[in-house]
Amino acid sequence: MQPVPFELFGTAHNVVMVLNAAVAVGMVWVVRRFDSERVRRRVCVGFAVILMATQIANWCHKYMVDGRAVFIEEHLPLHVCGMSAILAVVVLLTRNRLAYDLVYFWGLAGATNAVVTPALDAGWPEFHFIQYYISHGGIVVTAVLMTWGLGMRPTFRSLLRAFIVLNALAVVLTGFNLLTGANYMYLSEPPVTDSPFLFFEWPWYILWLEVVALVFFALCYLPVYLERRWGRAGAGVRPVARF
């Protein structure tokens, strides 16, 4: 049976984007409305379990369908969004500062673009469609929840750190791609996507995406910068839960 094709901005696509936004707003409302460590713990742990279970199910599915060689070349969590999904679980469970910084900037800049213009060939109700939007949407939800629900905030130093780590990983993965024939972080060739930011050939699109990444990181930091500039840092924000 042929898989159901993905339709950009079709009904299913629009519905999941609205659902992602609704889940983010709903989770922030819950943890702020019920100002309780128990509630925060349950929300964070429960969401982390969902994200991790979805990742494991996807890895098992890809390994069984595609085999070991293709799994190593294509399905290891070495794309930015794959790493961000794991970091989202880490920050939900531990409140690790570096994990938060990376999820905030990588997630809001990268996963948001992946949600809106996905490199996806399967539509609803295919497993890959469902897993894709739980994973990528979950990254964005985690960044929103940790920031506007639990009171964590990025800094300008966080922005620089996220950009430096991203480039350091790109250097390492360039070597890995050359050794394995993989295309992690799309360093060997661009993804098949409707993103408006990919219109140069290799390797020039990589340099262009560096600029795009910095611009998007700055846009992600702008609300926090304005909050501090206007003297409203921490206003109405609940303390960060520790567990």
Give pLDDT tens digits for 203-234.
778 888 888 889 999 999 998 888 888 765 44
- Percent of the chain scored above 90 by pLDDT? 55
* CA distance to 29, 32, 51, 56, 144, per residue, from 26 (Å): 5, 10, 17, 26, 11
Which ranges constitute the DSSP H helices of 71-203? 80-94, 97-102, 112-116, 127-144, 156-180
Buried b (16+ CB within 10 A) or exposed e, 107-131: bbbbbbbbbebbbbebbbebebbbb
More confident residue, 52 or 199: 52
Is residue 98 scored above 90 in pLDDT?
yes
Report the pLDDT averaged over residues 53-63: 92
Is residue 126 scored above 90 in pLDDT?
no
Tokens of 74: 């294509």
Q: What average pLDDT does the structure give for the chain?
A: 87
State how far the Cα of 98 lies from the Cα of 148, in Å rounded to an integer: 18
Angle at 50 between CA 123 and CA 85, to 5 degrees: 75
Report the pLDDT averaged over residues 95-111: 92
State how far the Cα of 190 lies from the Cα of 183, in Å rounded to an integer: 9
- Provide the whole-model pTM: 0.86
Question: Does a cis peptide bond (omega within 30 degrees of 0) precede residue 77?
Answer: no
How confident is residue 87, by pLDDT bands cut at 50, 70 and 90? very high
State how far the Cα of 184 lies from the Cα of 181, in Å rounded to an integer: 9
Is residue 107 scored above 50 in pLDDT?
yes
Tokens of 127: 């497993």
Is residue 84 scored above 50 in pLDDT?
yes
pLDDT of res. 227: 82
State how far the Cα of 92 lies from the Cα of 69, in Å rounded to an integer: 32
At 137-168, the pLDDT tens digits run: 999 999 999 999 998 999 999 999 999 999 99
State how far the Cα of 213 lies from the Cα of 200, in Å rounded to an integer: 15
Compute how many other C-beta atoms are within 10 angstroms of the C-beta atom of residue 228: 13
